Amino acid sequence: MTDRRRRPAGRIAPEALAAERGSALEGLDWLGRPPEATASLLYRLLRLVARFIIFVVFRFRIRTSGQENIPAGGYFLVAAAHRGWMDPFLVMQALPSQPRCWFLGSAPSTFTSRWRERLIHRLGGLLPVWRGGVGIDQHVASARAVIANGAVFAQMPEGTVSGPAGLIGPFRTGWAVIALRVDAPIVPLAIAGTEELYLGRRMVSRVLPVTSARALAGLDHGAEMPPPGTREELDVARRMSDALAAIIGPVVESIHPRTVDPVEHPRRFRRRLTWLFLRPGRLDRDG
């Protein structure tokens, strides 16, 4: 008898998923409009609904500090450690409702149904990526459009939710290449406590002082940026990633103990909440 069950999305290559749905538009091509900085009525309403679910239904407790470091708008936000589906909500919790925050996010893991894609398209806040598709120019264009409109362009440079609690993972260099070409203020955000979720879970975030691509790369003020697409640009991007990891990493380690509950603390609905919007995996997150 033929097994007609559909394979989990996480086990299908992004290119195969794109072919199955008939298109793989990314970034601004998918959005089809300028990425707005103003919070719409629908966005404000759904934000209130999300806050009710997070704080009342799930009873999550989130402490945020450092908001005095947030610029007025038009900046690049880089957050770590990325450990679960709650991370974007911690980013939004740390920021005001407007200017809007736009994430460069995975299309395969987000567009799990047509209605969900249509809702996100109308709501805004995501510029989708199909890994293995187009190059980085599309994402640079997305970042420029977001920042030019006075909104916030957000990335999580680890690119995965794997890794031990309280420590950041290796940073990929794509975010740094985008930051180099856009040359906007960079706001680091340290987050902790999202690797394991249960009723009443404590989470912490801290907004760190604004920096820049030049400062992270060790370039003098007014120095020319490396030519796009060159080995020099990639070398500078790697230096930036190492420098930013050195800034965020110790802060994540310092705030993580504030999220740890005693062993005897009840962890109700742990597995269900941890993997609510992710393909189920190991709870220890060692890999």
Domain-located, residue 6? no
The pLDDT, as a whole number, for residue 10 is: 44
CB 197 within 8 A of CB 165: no
Q: What CATH number does residue 209 fall under?
A: 3.40.1130
Domain-located, residue 245? yes
Residue 43 CA to its chain's centroid (Å): 18
Whether pTM > 0.85 for this model: the answer is yes
CB 168 within 8 A of CB 256: no
Domain-located, residue 173? yes
Domain-located, residue 19? no
Give me the number of domains the chain comprises: 1
The pLDDT, as a whole number, for residue 49 is: 96
Which range of residues forms the domain containing residue 77? 30-274
Domain-located, residue 176? yes
Which pLDDT tens digits describe the chain residue by residue (287 residues)? 444 444 444 445 555 655 565 667 889 999 999 999 999 999 999 999 999 999 999 999 999 999 999 999 899 999 999 999 999 999 999 999 999 999 988 888 788 788 888 999 999 999 998 875 557 899 999 999 999 999 999 999 998 887 889 999 999 999 999 999 999 999 999 999 999 999 999 999 999 999 999 999 999 887 888 999 999 999 999 999 999 999 999 999 999 999 999 999 999 999 999 998 877 766 666 54
Domain-located, residue 206? yes
- In order, the DSSP letters of the chain are ----PPPPGGGS-HHHHHHHHT----HHHHH-S----SPPHHHHHHHHHHHHIIIIIS--EEEEE-GGG--SS-EEEEEE---STTHHHHHHHHS-S-S-EEEEEEHHHH-SSHHHHHHHHHH--EEEE-TTSS-THHHHHHHHHHHHTT-EEEE-TT-SS-S-TTS--PPPSHHHHHHHHH---EEEEEEES-SS--TT-EEEEEEPPPB-HHHHHTPPTTPPPPPTTSHHHHHHHHHHHHHHHHHHHHHHHHHGGGGPPPTTS--TTHHHHHTTTS----SS---
Domain-located, residue 11? no
Around Cβ 136, how many Cβ atoms within 10 Å?
Answer: 15
Domain-located, residue 286? no
